[in-house]
Amino acid sequence: HFSPQANINTSATFLQLLVNDCHSSQKNLIRNLHRLTSSVMETYITYFHYEVASTFYRSMADLKYLLGNSLYTKFKALN
């Protein structure tokens, strides 16, 4: 939420937060960024798994490398 007590810099970039944010560690910021990108990819795969499966011209091993084990397992479960 965006209460005045939260002290959130909504216009800061990720790199600015890495340098100037005194409330979060770099490790936690990177972990949260990874969680966010994984959630976005999971949503994308959920809605577009047919398109990904039909247009990905490389091997499934390459797709597994790009997605990672967890997302690849979810992708295979949808097919």
- Per-residue pLDDT, 18: 73
Amino acid at 62: D
Find the DSSP H helices in 1-79. Answer: 14-20, 26-55, 60-67, 69-78
Q: Which two tokens stand for residue 56?
A: 């990905």
Beta strands in the chain (DSSP E): none
Q: Is the pTM of this model over 0.85?
A: no
pLDDT at residue 4, rounded to an integer:
61
Residue range(s) defining the domain that contains residue 70: 4-78
**Contact of 29 with 21, CB cutoff 8 Å:** yes
Q: Which residues of the chain have pLDDT under 50?
A: 1
Give how many domains the chain has, as a whole number: 1
CA 75, CA 69: separation in Å to the nearest integer?
10
Res 50: pLDDT: 92
